[in-house]
Chain A
Amino acid sequence: MDFQEKLVHDLVAKYGTDRENLLPILQGVIDQERYLSEEAILKIAKEMSIPAADVYGTATFYSFLDTEPRGKYVIRVCKTITCAMKGKNQIIQAIESFLKIKVGETTIDKKFTILQTNCLGWCHKAPAMLVNDDVYTELTPDSVVDILREYREEN
């Protein structure tokens, strides 16, 4: 059994095969692999005995359930109104020039992906971003680079 097979098998064993457990199972795969590959979707469909098209349909509805390869750290910068007013563009520029990739891209070492996202609920401390599940607020072009440097330098 390869890693992914075991991952899917364990998740289905933990949550059960009822349809209402699909989201937690998809989220469990994302936690480990950062995206839902076609293979993962087929495995989930088979283990849960539901059509692969249904699994794919659900997965593609949710912005946090990526179906394209992502880096180990997914950076999501809020682009909604208050963050946009408080300098979101400068934050994006700082990240892009530090990581040398554009929004939507992943670094060659597969460590970082930059994305934009809708309101994160930190409007009073804008601009804000998520790195996976961790929140960073009141960002400046300098502070965001410091934050990402720490991620880059950890092993």
Chain B
Amino acid sequence: MTTTKKQLHRIDLIFKNEQDCKEILRNALARSNQEVINEMVNSGLKGRGGAGFPTGLKWKLTAEQKVDEKFVICNADEGEPGTFKDREILTRVPHKVLSGMAVCAKIIGARKGYIYLRGEYKFLVPNLKKELRRFHDILDELGLDFRVEIFMGSGAYICGEESALFESMEGKRGEPRNKPPFPTEIGYLNKPTVINNVETLAHSYTILKYGAKKFRELGVKDSRGSKVFSVSGDTPIPGIYELELGMSVQDFVDDFGDGDTKAVQVGGASGFLVPRKRFGKTSIGYQGKLTGISLPTGGSMMIFNSSRSMYNVLNNYLDFFEEESCGQCTPCRVGCQQLLKGIKAVKRGEKPASYLDKLLKLTDTMKLTAKCGLGQSVANSFSSIVENFREEMIY
């Protein structure tokens, strides 16, 4: 079988060195709120943290709330294993993120914004503070009453979940809240809050500068625009790449694999493992079936070659989840513990192979009953690994 290797289209929008944020802001602030919201909605931009909620709609819903005090929060609690693109964005183009926050603030009527930065990225603070001072001067010049502060996390994966993040900012344990109500109504300090991922805010800058139409030209159907991918694992070229949404995993592997790729983990430990036989049938993007399954991702793409034991990979993920589960709801707290114990017991021969089916049922229960995305998504990696690499779990 011969295939012509076509390289994936590299996009250069997010990291493009553009120092015109004052102009972009001036223009955006001069437009009516409705006009900017329409631009955002028409762009098709969806949240780049992984969940994929339409950004324009989020801004619109928050803008409609008739409350005096509102907040804009940039979620920089990037903790999903295999994800590191937000750090790069905040290092290289923080002004784009801040511009997105300021425009959002004007539209929804917020005077205060926060960057919730994970504790592991504390070394970014001096530069970010310098950038904030410069940015606040620009806002003063443009007459926008808006200030951004940095709020540091302290090493808890779950705080990347938006409602856990609010709890954390309120000085509490980072335990997710029940939803609804959603942050657009009741967020930080129970006020309407827009909370967007770092990359989402940076894309909003691109949309404000080049227009929704140009953004929509990238990507496919329900997955518009470009996406920043964090590529790691068994690849000769690990790093951060901006690519179009909608690519197939096969094309991705052709570009980034080491020639011996066995599987790709799309979306980190809470995402799905794609085995070699499904590379061609799986694409990267949000719902909207293309030629098979389409997987969403916050950008984490981890590549495993044939030297890797998928049992070790799953063991590592479960160890991660067991530690990072907040412990609030039983399905997740006990579920993660039992899954980890269970695969070890099967591996050691203390439980029969059929015990894996019981564990798969347990993940179904967790998907239905866990309170937040963490507990619900453990099933993703667990079932995709156990179903595709069952022998490796047993022998």
Query: Measuring CB to CB, which residues of chain A are less than 8 angstroms from any residue of chain B?
Result: 18-24, 26-27, 54, 57-58, 61-65, 79-82, 84-85, 117-126, 130, 133-135
Give Cα distance in the complex from A134 to B70, angstroms: 34
Q: Does B243 contact A (CB under 8 A)?
A: no
B308 proximity list for chain A (CB < 8 A): 85
Chain B interface residue bracket vs A: 35 or more
Nearest CB of B to A59, in Å: 9
The answer on a CB contact under 8 Å between B154 and A85 is: no
With beta carbons under 8 angstroms apart, the residue of B81, B123, B171, B175 that contacts A23 is B171
The answer on a CB contact under 8 Å between A123 and B323 is: no
Give Cα distance in the complex from A2 to B125, angstroms: 30
The answer on a CB contact under 8 Å between B172 and A19 is: yes
Contact with A along B221-232 (1 / 0, CB 8 A): 000000000111
The answer on a CB contact under 8 Å between B302 and A123 is: yes
With beta carbons under 8 angstroms apart, the residue of A26, A117, A124 that contacts B232 is A124
Give Cα distance in the complex from A61 to B83, angstroms: 23
The answer on a CB contact under 8 Å between B81 and A80 is: yes
A20 proximity list for chain B (CB < 8 A): 169-171, 189
Give Cα distance in the complex from A91 to B324, angstroms: 23
List the 10 closest pairs (A to B, CB-CB), nearest first.
A22-B171, A123-B232, A64-B155, A124-B238, A62-B154, A63-B155, A61-B173, A64-B154, A121-B84, A19-B171
B170 proximity list for chain A (CB < 8 A): 19-20
A54 proximity list for chain B (CB < 8 A): 172
The answer on a CB contact under 8 Å between B320 and A80 is: yes
Which residue in chain A gives the minimum CB-CB distance to B125?
A133
Assess A118 versus B157: contact at CB under 8 Å? Given A85-B308, A123-B81, A123-B82: yes
The answer on a CB contact under 8 Å between A81 and B171 is: no
The answer on a CB contact under 8 Å between A23 and B154 is: yes
Give Cα distance in the complex from A62 to B155, angstroms: 6
Q: Does B316 contact A (CB under 8 A)?
A: yes
B312 proximity list for chain A (CB < 8 A): 84
With beta carbons under 8 angstroms apart, the residue of B155, B173, B230, B317 that contacts A123 is B230
The answer on a CB contact under 8 Å between B120 and A123 is: no
Give Cα distance in the complex from A121 to B320, angstroms: 14
The answer on a CB contact under 8 Å between B154 and A124 is: no
The answer on a CB contact under 8 Å between B269 and A81 is: yes
Query: Measuring CB to CB, which residues of chain B are less than 8 angstroms from any residue of chain A?
Result: 78-84, 87, 118-123, 151-157, 168-175, 189, 230-234, 238-240, 265, 269, 302, 308, 312-313, 316-317, 319-320, 323-324, 326
The answer on a CB contact under 8 Å between B119 and A124 is: no
With beta carbons under 8 angstroms apart, the residue of B82, B123, B172 that contacts A133 is B123
The answer on a CB contact under 8 Å between B316 and A121 is: no
Contacts beyond the supplied A23-B152, A118-B81: 19 A-B pairs with Cβ under 8 Å: A19-B172, A23-B168, A24-B151, A62-B119, A62-B174, A63-B154, A79-B316, A79-B319, A81-B81, A81-B302, A82-B302, A85-B234, A118-B320, A118-B324, A121-B84, A121-B121, A123-B233, A124-B239, A135-B123
A21 proximity list for chain B (CB < 8 A): 171
B121 proximity list for chain A (CB < 8 A): 121
Nearest CB of A to B151, in Å: 8
The interface residues of chain B, by DSSP majority, are classed as mixed
Nearest CB of A to B159, in Å: 8
Give 5 CB contacts A-B under 8 Å: A22-B172, A26-B154, A81-B82, A82-B302, A123-B232
The answer on a CB contact under 8 Å between A123 and B123 is: no
Give Cα distance in the complex from A135 to B173, angstroms: 26
Nearest CB of B to A37, in Å: 17
B120 proximity list for chain A (CB < 8 A): 117, 120-121, 130
Nearest CB of A to B278, in Å: 20
B156 proximity list for chain A (CB < 8 A): 61-63
The answer on a CB contact under 8 Å between B81 and A119 is: yes
Give Cα distance in the complex from A84 to B174, angstroms: 27
Assess A65 versus B154: contact at CB under 8 Å? Given A58-B172, A58-B173: yes
B175 proximity list for chain A (CB < 8 A): 61
A117 proximity list for chain B (CB < 8 A): 120, 155
B173 proximity list for chain A (CB < 8 A): 57-58, 61
Nearest CB of B to A116, in Å: 10
Give Cα distance in the complex from A64 to B119, angstroms: 8
A134 proximity list for chain B (CB < 8 A): 123
Which residue in chain B gives the minimum CB-CB distance to A48?
B171
Which residue in chain A gives the minimum CB-CB distance to B171?
A22
Nearest CB of B to A43, in Å: 16
A121 proximity list for chain B (CB < 8 A): 78-79, 83-84, 87, 118, 120-121
Give Cα distance in the complex from A126 to B120, angstroms: 15
B118 proximity list for chain A (CB < 8 A): 121
Which residue in chain A gives the minimum CB-CB distance to B83?
A121
Assess A24 versus B83: contact at CB under 8 Å? Given A80-B316, A81-B313: no
